[in-house]
Amino acid sequence: MNKENNILKWFNGEISVNDIKKMHSDTDFETLERIGFYSKQIDVPKIDAQKALEEFKVKKLPKKEVKVKALNFKTWQKVAAVLLVMITSSYFLFFNNNKSFQTQIAQTKTFNLPDNSEVILNAQSKLTYNKKDWKKNRSLTLDGEAFFKVSKGEKFTVNTDLGMVQVLGTQFNVKERAYYFEVQCYEGKVSVTYNAETVVLTQGKSFRVINGTIEAVDFNSENPSWLFKESSFDRVPLRQVMDELERQYDIVIETENVDLTQVFSGSFTHDDKNIALQSVTIPLKLSYRIEGKKVLLYSYEAN
């Protein structure tokens, strides 16, 4: 074994021929020596390395490069955008329980809330509430005018930009228009909060804010007139009356030498434009001219 290892070492160049002969003097290494010597003389193809390389290069080999993709910011943006869309859409699908009702010009809508309270929405108004929270919190947001018949139960709140109305169970009308906020109580008690001031209304009382001026007006109708396709006004500036006309008839009213702050008491129908315009203009000694969608109001006294 030892001899074999030494022979291997000899062939590996670790021991010289003479050393191994001394170590194992009993063995004849002549044949091995000759094998080792002559086997080195075997002819191998002499390669002209440079020439071979040139030949190799002639082939023009394709190189499969692994492309290092930098984390592309644009890719992230795309991913983020997709995620955003998914998250927002899923939010609206699964988490947004806001329900809203909306009416256009000259349109009213009647519907029930989850607790069977009835709401009648006047023209160009919007009402939004949270379906999920409704049982715990009867609260809704109104932009425009609506009549409520609230069924008995927990506190019922109507939020508007101008003020807040709270009731327990009653009938009332809320009108919230530009520079105009009016709450009319038709039954029970209604609490109105306006500018941190709270007023409790009883049946037949109304609370009105026109251009920042608070007024308390009594009335004796049992239902708001607009439910019967009529708009009634009690000392309301012409400006708001015109707005109401525009909402009910899809017209644009322009004026000429007309005082918009003068008050109007009366009503107009929602069924006939001419009659409605007449019922507003005649008491105020005005005239009107219809030009398509445009209506011009002017004072005939001035002309």
Of 62-70, 148-156, 177-185, 207-215, the window that binds another protein (rule: CB under 8 A) is 62-70
**Range 167-174, long-range pairs (CB < 8 A, 24+ positions):** 167/191, 171/147, 171/223, 172/147, 172/148, 172/201, 173/145, 173/146, 173/147, 173/148, 173/224, 174/142, 174/145, 174/146, 174/147, 174/148
DSSP string, 111-161: EE-TTS-EEEE-SS-EEEEETTTTTT-EEEEEESEEEEEPPSSS-EEEE-S
Among 2, 26, 43, 95, binds another protein (CB under 8 A): 43
Does position 56 interact with another protein (CB under 8 A)? The reply is yes
Does position 303 interact with another protein (CB under 8 A)? The reply is no
Among 2, 18, 61, 73, binds another protein (CB under 8 A): 61
Among 18, 66, 95, 301, binds another protein (CB under 8 A): 66
Does position 217 interact with another protein (CB under 8 A)? The reply is no
Does position 55 interact with another protein (CB under 8 A)? The reply is yes
Question: Is the Cβ–Cβ distance between 162 and 190 less than 8 Å?
Answer: no
Question: Is the Cβ–Cβ distance between 206 and 232 less than 8 Å?
Answer: no
Cα gap 19→303, rounded to integer Å: 141
Q: Tell me whether strands 252-256 and 294-298 are parallel, antiparallel or unpaired.
A: parallel
Question: Is the Cβ–Cβ distance between 33 and 19 less than 8 Å?
Answer: no
Q: Which residue has the tokens 């109708």?
A: 221
Cα gap 248→261, rounded to integer Å: 21
Which is closer to another protein, CB of 12 or CB of 303?
12
Residue 124 CB neighbours (<10 A): 21
Which is closer to another protein, CB of 13 or CB of 212?
13
Which is closer to another protein, CB of 40 or CB of 74?
40
Q: Which of 234, 233, 227, 303 is nearest to 268 (CA)?
A: 233
Of 8-16, 91-99, 122-130, 239-247, the window that binds another protein (rule: CB under 8 A) is 8-16
Does position 26 interact with another protein (CB under 8 A)? The reply is no
What stretch of H or E contains 4?
helix 2-11
Does position 71 interact with another protein (CB under 8 A)? The reply is no
Longest alpha-carbon distance in the chain:
151
Does position 59 interact with another protein (CB under 8 A)? The reply is yes
Of 30-38, 124-132, 199-207, 278-286, the window that binds another protein (rule: CB under 8 A) is 30-38
Among 2, 4, 218, 274, binds another protein (CB under 8 A): 4
- Least separation in angstroms between CB 26 and another protein: 16
Among 25, 45, 70, 303, binds another protein (CB under 8 A): 45
Which is closer to another protein, CB of 65 or CB of 291?
65
- Least separation in angstroms between CB 30 and another protein: 9
Half-sphere exposure of 231 (CA within 13 A, CB side): 30
Does position 38 interact with another protein (CB under 8 A)? The reply is yes
Which is closer to another protein, CB of 27 or CB of 262?
27
The contact set with another protein (CB under 8 A) reads 4, 7-8, 11-13, 31-45, 47, 49-50, 52-53, 55-56, 59, 61-66
